[in-house]
C-alpha cells in the first residue's frame, strides 16, 4: 500500500474514536472488501468504512474528517463504481444505512411529494409506491443502488429521470453543514447534477409523485422484465458503461463495431448488450479499465465518436 502504514494507522485510530463516540450511531468497518459494496463485485479492501445510521451521525463524521483534513469518498449503492484492486486508503463514508420512513406529503401548491432518505434503495421506494398506488417513479423499478446516488448522477430510466421528478433535496456539505436545494432545471443535464460540482451530499430527497388508479404493480414489474430482457441481472455489472452521445446510442455504436462478446481478462462486453461490461470471471479493475479504453479507441477509429464513460473508476 505504498508508504501508507502511518496513514492507515491514523485512519484506524479515527475509526476507533468514531466507533466509541456517543454522538455516532452506525457501523465502522476496518479492512473491508469493497467488492462486497459494489454491483460489479470488484475492488480491494477499504482501510475504513463508516456507515452512519442517522443525519446527526453523518454530520459528526463529516465535521471530524474535515477537521482532521482527511479526504474521503461518499458511497451510495456502488452500482456504477469500479474500485481499485489495490484497495482504498482514505475513509469511505457509506450512506447505505441512512434511512428513515418513506412518507407522503401534500403541499399547498398541490404537489404530492414522496420523501425518503438518501440511503433508501429503489426496491424499497417501489415497494412503497406499489403498496400505496403511487405513480411517477415506476420507471425506476429494478434500478440498483440508492436514491441518493441516483440524484448525484441524475439517473434516467425509460424516459424518466431524477431531474424530471425532483422537487427539492436536503443536503450536507463536506464540512457537515446543512442546506436545502430547490429544483432548478438550469442546474441539470444528461447524467449531470449540481451535486457533482458542488460536492453536496444529499441526505433527504423529495420527489414529485401522484396517486394512480392504474395497476402500478404490474407496470413496475413490466419495467423489471425489460431490464431482465436486456440482461441487467445476468452477471455482475455496473449498468451502462458509456453515456449516450447526442442523437445516438452508445450501445449501437459499440455493436456496429463488432465488439459484443469481446473480453480482456475477466471483463467482457455483454453478448446481449454492447453498453454493458460484465464481470465474467474474477475481473479486476485493470481488466475493466483496459476494456473501456479499447472500446473507446475502436469506436473513435471506426465511428469518429469519442465515448465518455459513465461508470466511475476509483
Q: Which residues are catalytic?
A: 240, 310
Helix (H, G, I), strand (E, B) or coil at 134: strand
Longest dimension (CA), the chain: 61
Q: Which residue from 62, 35, 51 is spatially nearest to 94, judged by alpha carbons?
A: 51
Q: Under a CB-based contact definition with an 8 Å cutoff, are residues 50 and 61 in contact?
A: yes
Cell digits of residue 21: 463516540
C-alpha to C-alpha distance for 179 and 120, rounded to whole angstroms: 20
Q: Could you give the residue ranges of the DSSP H alpha helices within 143-186?
A: 147-153, 162-165
CA proximity to 56, closest of 21, 14, 87: 21
Amino acid at each position: 500500500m505504498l508508504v501508507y502504514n502511518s496513514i492507515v494507522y491514523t485512519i484506524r485510530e479515527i475509526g476507533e474514536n468514531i466507533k466509541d463516540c456517543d454522538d455516532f450511531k452506525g457501523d465502522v468497518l476496518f479492512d473491508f472488501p469493497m467488492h462486497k459494496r459494489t454491483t460489479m463485485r470488484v475492488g480491494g479492501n477499504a482501510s475504513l468504512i463508516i456507515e452512519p445510521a442517522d443525519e446527526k451521525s453523518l454530520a459528526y463524521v463529516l465535521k471530524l474528517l474535515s477537521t482532521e483534513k482527511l479526504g474521503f469518498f461518499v458511497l451510495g449503492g456502488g452500482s456504477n463504481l469500479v474500485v481499485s484492486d489495490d484497495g482504498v486508503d482514505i475513509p469511505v463514508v457509506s450512506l447505505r444505512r441512512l434511512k428513515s420512513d418513506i412518507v407522503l406529503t401534500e403541499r399547498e401548491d398541490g404537489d404530492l411529494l414522496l420523501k425518503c432518505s438518501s440511503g433508501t434503495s429503489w426496491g424499497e421506494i417501489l415497494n412503497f409506491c406499489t403498496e400505496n398506488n403511487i405513480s411517477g417513479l415506476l420507471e425506476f423499478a429494478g434500478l440498483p443502488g440508492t436514491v441518493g446516488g441516483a440524484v448525484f448522477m441524475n439517473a434516467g430510466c425509460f424516459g424518466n429521470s431524477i431531474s424530471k421528478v425532483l422537487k427539492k433535496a436536503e443536503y450536507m456539505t463536506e464540512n457537515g453543514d446543512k442546506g436545502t436545494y430547490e429544483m432548478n432545471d438550469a442546474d441539470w443535464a444528461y447524467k449531470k447534477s449540481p451535486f457533482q460540482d458542488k460536492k453536496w451530499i444529499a441526505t433527504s430527497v423529495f420527489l414529485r409523485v401522484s396517486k394512480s388508479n392504474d395497476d402500478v404493480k404490474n407496470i413496475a414489474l413490466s419495467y423489471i422484465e425489460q431490464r431482465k430482457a436486456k440482461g441487467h441481472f445476468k452477471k455482475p455489472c455496473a449498468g451502462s458503461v458509456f453515456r449516450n452521445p447526442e442523437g445516438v446510442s452508445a450501445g449501437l455504436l459499440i455493436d456496429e463495431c463488432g465488439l459484443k462478446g469481446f473480453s480482456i481478462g475477466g471483463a467482457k462486453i455483454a453478448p446481449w448488450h454492447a453498453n454493458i461490461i460484465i464481470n465474467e470471471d474474477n475481473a479486476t479493475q485493470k481488466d475493466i479499465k483496459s476494456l473501456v479504453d479499447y472500446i473507446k479507441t475502436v469506436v473513435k477509429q471506426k465511428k469518429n465518436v469519442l465515448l465518455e464513460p459513465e461508470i466511475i473508476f476509483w
